A and B are shown apart, each in its own frame.
Chain A
Amino acid sequence: MDTVLRIENIHKSFKAGFIPKRKKILDGISLEVNGGEIFGYLGPNGAGKTTTLKCVLGLIFPDKGKIQIFGHSNLSLQAKEKIGFLPENPYFYDYLTATEFLSFYSDLTLVKKENKQAQIENLLQLVGLNQAADLQLRKFSRGMLQRIGLAQALINDPSLVFLDEPLGGLDPLGRKEIRDVIIRLKEEGKTVFLSSHILQDIEMICDRVAILVSGKIINQGALQDLISEKVKVTEITLSGVKTEDCKDLGDCYSAQEGRIFLKVFEEEKIATVIQLVQTKKGKIHSLIPRTETLEDLFVGAVKQR
């Protein structure tokens, strides 16, 4: 698959304080994003996710390194014509209505005049804001601003979309809707670069991820390669058995209504548990094998540093 974004060894530091002291934010970031995938860019707060995005978008200039979008320099207009960007906590000109705002941004791109109106209506429909088309942005809620932000990122029908914490500040329903939009973008053949610290969302929709800690990428690859499918622990809820009988089988906790919550770490012991329940004429309410999650990987990686 073609590489749509190539970041090669970028470094960035800022001077801060009264007596300027250099603070390193990015320390040799290199990554490649392939066409048509959803790429998750993960990291704790302050790791440098937004700084990387700003470098890619030409808002700040890296001290060292090279960034190419579709084979062009990231600062060239050819590159910018093919990208869309939704910043974290977006804020826009609050005196414009949703339609006026999108119309203004549309004038900054190559959208043809005759297609403009239809394009704006489609986008408002896509992000679920068609009811608010003539409402001033100052009256928008946080979730609505996020949606109009997504709409402006898509105004030029970009092939590569950068989303910085797109699901932040949204209610569960809003998150699902935006997630569906992101998946729809992938189905349309677009590439999505998603920066987030909400692991659940990334795990659900991303094809590949990179984990950034203190300005360095410490792990990257396809999600299934990073997370092993080996069962780490099996969680069993059962009743009709005494707690003492289960103690040797794993971690045992008392749950409500006489139930026992058992965490079994060795796979071969599961059969013993089932046998025990059968002999005691008890009942198994649930049996859930837990594999490694992105969260385990992430927490492990961050702790290592």
Chain B
Amino acid sequence: MKIRAIALNTFKEAIRDRILYLLLFFAALCIILSRILALLTIGDRAKIIMDVGLASLSLFGVLMAILIGTGLVYKEIDKRTLYTLLAKPIQRYQFLLGKYLGLLLTLFVMLVLMTLVFLVLILLHRYPIEGAFFLAILFVFVELCLITAVALLFSCFSTPILSTLFSLSFYLIGHLSWGLETLINKLPQGGIKTLARILYLFLPNLENFNFKTEVVHHLSIPPKIFLYSSLYGIFYTVFILALAVMVFRRRDFI
């Protein structure tokens, strides 16, 4: 109940942020521009539209999550709205979860809006839509859940600019960490290989949530992969949220 009240207030606050609409505008622009890009391409135009459209959805979703997520808790501390809130009979973790869920709700609404623009474009051109298309978008949302948790974690102890940099780094590392796997396969047995393995274990692998290629090229995806990716997303998010709660619980609000 208390978490819900905080979540709804966070949603009300986030939905007023102008950055959100700017990003939404550019996302819509990118999706529509994919049509022009398709005109310049030799080959299957539908593939270009799908590819650019899904990539825009994912990229702008992540930007929204990071730019709003990193300011959420910081703003409450900076403007001292947190003082009266935490003096009410709520636990600190309830506040943090409320903020998190409120932002997820905002991102969900934004993702739905972007998907609608995308769907209109696809339907206008009478391209076929498969179930995998919606699954790919669902996994974009799973990725957003994780990125939001990361943004929230950094927001608990850092300024918005630093948090944004940290969160963007997390996103980039997450999408490039598969390179480390290739490296591990090529390294000779020894200390460095073990070190690289341990590093790979802790670094996020956000490519687990990327099903764009499969959707664009109509490749089949084994259900086991979906299950694995979902579990990976849930556990990683819970882990990051637990870290955020631990940091936030012991923090002094000077």
Contacts and interface: CB of A to CB of B under 8 A. Distances in A.
Interface string A55-66: 001111100000
Interface in B80-120: 80-91
A122 to B, nearest CB: 19
Contacts of A253: none
B94 to A, nearest CB: 9
Contact of A61 (B90, B91, B252): B252
A108 B85 contact: yes
Interface of B: 1-2, 4-6, 9, 12-13, 16, 79-91, 250, 252-254
B80 A77 contact: no
Nearest to B16: A95
Interface of A: 14, 54, 57-61, 77, 80-81, 83-87, 89-93, 95-96, 104-105, 107-110, 149, 152-153, 156, 162
A156 B88 contact: yes
A149 B84 contact: yes
Most buried by A among B13, B16, B80: B80
Given A77-B91, A90-B84, A107 B252 contact: no
Contacts of B16: 95
Contacts of B88: 80, 105, 108-109, 156
B89 A104 contact: no
A85 B80 contact: no
Nearest to A83: B87
Contacts of A92: 81, 84
A14 B254 contact: yes
Most buried by A among B5, B16, B82, B89: B89
A91 B81 contact: yes
A93 B81 contact: yes
Contact of A59 (B1, B83, B250): B83
Contact of B2 (A59, A95, A108): A108
A61 B250 contact: yes
A57 B89 contact: no
A93 B83 contact: no
6 contacts: A14-B254, A60-B253, A85-B87, A90-B80, A104-B9, A162-B87
